[in-house]
């Protein structure tokens, strides 16, 4: 088990914005953003069927077409099937500008195989390296999430374990915004995940819970993490969204205080966000999302920037970083 040795590069690209997250982007912008990532050395790409109801996978596949498949790591997700039928209510929430294909939630084994088959077609590739069971959590399904989790436990988890044993995929895990399903999954004996794509829960703005409840347990199980949403949906670095909704005044104030502290130490806030996540030895990769090529240069620069120790200590002193969090 482990994700670290399955992923190429510590800085990846999160392709949710290619599904027209928050705003409609053109085919050219989508292609140029992936091209910028490739040109600047990014070799890990994460997507999902649900990102724009297939749009993110289609665009990512098109942009990577022609590149030697061994040169990059690809992850996508299962748990939501994209139907050929259309339904305008599919265009809702952050993906209201996505495609209007109907989305059906299904964490069974059969749906897992069908979902992977459809993803391969949309992505135009013959294999997926890592498959995450998507959003099997309270934030996505309300109290019914437990029922979905039980279906996944008997269905998707076992199916993915089998695909891994057969060498069809290299690793599998859960792709979630919540800590609880990861905790429960680590207790399962029948099918143990290699790790988790944990989004929004290990950022400068929010990291207490996995430190308290998840990381020790994950370490014992050899499970590692991909950190999704390292900018908390953008608000940390000048965007308007937190957790896929408009950021509250309280959150904007917290960001202002952190940004001010960073500026006093001549630290780029993106560098602080990415390097905070990567300082944790359980973190295999961090995958900021972007819908413009210019963001990639910012991300790559931030990844390589030097952040002085005094900044991290000041962040801890001001209570912005938990004493339990490893510092870079």
Ligand X SMILES: NC(=O)c1ccc[n+]([C@@H]2O[C@H](COP(=O)([O-])OP(=O)(O)OC[C@H]3O[C@@H](n4cnc5c(N)ncnc54)[C@H](OP(=O)(O)O)[C@@H]3O)[C@@H](O)[C@H]2O)c1
Is 46 an interacting residue with respect to ligand X (CB under 6 A)? yes
The string of DSSP codes covering 57-121 is HHHHHHHHTTS-GGGSEEEEEESEEEEEEE-GGGS-GGGTTS--EEEEE--SHHHHHHHHHHHHH
**What's phi and psi for 42, nearest 5 deg?**
-75, 130
Among 185, 290, 296, 315, binds ligand X (CB under 6 A): 290
161 CB contacts (<8 Å, ≥6 apart)?
172, 190, 191, 192
Of 242 and 311, nearer to ligand X (C-beta) is 242
Is 57 an interacting residue with respect to ligand X (CB under 6 A)? no
- Binding segment for ligand X (CB under 6 A), chosen from 10-18, 82-90, 187-195, 208-216, is 10-18
The least CB distance from residue 273 to ligand X, in Å, is 8
CA dist 284 and 274 (Å) reads 12
The upper half-sphere exposure of residue 108, i.e. CA atoms within 13 Å in the direction of its Cβ, equals 6
The upper half-sphere exposure of residue 297, i.e. CA atoms within 13 Å in the direction of its Cβ, equals 4
Is 213 an interacting residue with respect to ligand X (CB under 6 A)? no
The least CB distance from residue 295 to ligand X, in Å, is 4
Is 134 an interacting residue with respect to ligand X (CB under 6 A)? yes
Is 59 an interacting residue with respect to ligand X (CB under 6 A)? no
Number of residues that bind ligand X (CB under 6 A): 32
Token pair of 41 as six digits: 């050395």
Is 271 an interacting residue with respect to ligand X (CB under 6 A)? no
Among 52, 54, 288, 293, binds ligand X (CB under 6 A): 288
The least CB distance from residue 317 to ligand X, in Å, is 25
State the catalytic residues: 46, 51, 77
Q: What is the distance between the terminal CA atoms of the chain, rounded to a whole angstrom?
A: 25
Give me the residue whose beta carbon is nearest to ligand X: 289
Is 176 an interacting residue with respect to ligand X (CB under 6 A)? yes
Is 175 an interacting residue with respect to ligand X (CB under 6 A)? yes
Is 54 an interacting residue with respect to ligand X (CB under 6 A)? no
The least CB distance from residue 286 to ligand X, in Å, is 9
The string of DSSP codes covering 199-265 is ESSSBTTB-HHHHHHTHHHHHHTT-EEEEE-TTGGGGGGT-SEETTEEPPHHHHHHHHHHHHHHHHT
Binding site for ligand X (CB under 6 A): 14-17, 22, 46, 132, 134-135, 175-177, 197, 199, 228-234, 237-239, 287-292, 295, 298
């Amino acid at each position: 088990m482990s994700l670290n040795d399955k992923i190429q590069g510590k800085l990846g690209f999160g392709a949710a914005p290619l599904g027209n997250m928050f705003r409609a982007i053109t085919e050219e912008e989508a292609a140029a953003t992936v091209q910028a990532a490739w040109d600047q050395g990014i070799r890990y790409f994460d997507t999902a069927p649900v990102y724009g109801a297939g749009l993110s996978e289609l665009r990512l596949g098109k942009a990577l077409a022609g590149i030697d498949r061994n040169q990059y790591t690809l992850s996508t997700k299962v748990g939501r099937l994209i139907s050929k039928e259309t339904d305008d209510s599919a265009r809702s929430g952050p993906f209201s500008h996505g495609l209007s294909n109907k989305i059906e939630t299904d964490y069974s084994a059969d749906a897992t195989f069908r979902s992977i088959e459809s993803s391969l077609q949309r992505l135009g590739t013959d294999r997926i390296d890592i498959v995450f069971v998507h959003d099997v959590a309270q934030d996505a399904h309300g109290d019914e999430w437990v029922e979905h989790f039980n279906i996944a436990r008997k269905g998707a988890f076992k199916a993915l374990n089998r695909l891994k044993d057969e060498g069809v995929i290299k690793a599998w895990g859960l792709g979630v915004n919540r800590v609880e399903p990861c905790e429960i999954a680590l207790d399962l004996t029948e099918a143990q995940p290699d790790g988790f794509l944990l989004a929004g829960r290990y950022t400068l703005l929010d990291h207490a819970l996995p430190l308290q409840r998840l990381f020790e347990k994950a370490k014992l199980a050899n499970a590692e993490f991909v950190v999704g949403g390292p900018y908390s949906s953008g608000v940390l670095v000048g965007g308007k969204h937190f957790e896929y909704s408009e950021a509250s005044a309280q959150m904007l104030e917290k960001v202002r205080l952190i940004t001010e502290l960073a500026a006093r130490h001549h630290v780029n806030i993106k560098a602080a966000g990415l390097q905070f996540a990567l300082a944790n030895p359980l973190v295999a990769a961090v995958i900021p999302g972007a819908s413009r090529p210019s963001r990639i240069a910012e991300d790559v620069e931030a990844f390589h920037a030097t952040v002085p120790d005094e900044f991290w200590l000041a962040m801890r002193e001001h209570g912005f970083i938990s004493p339990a969090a490893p510092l870079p």
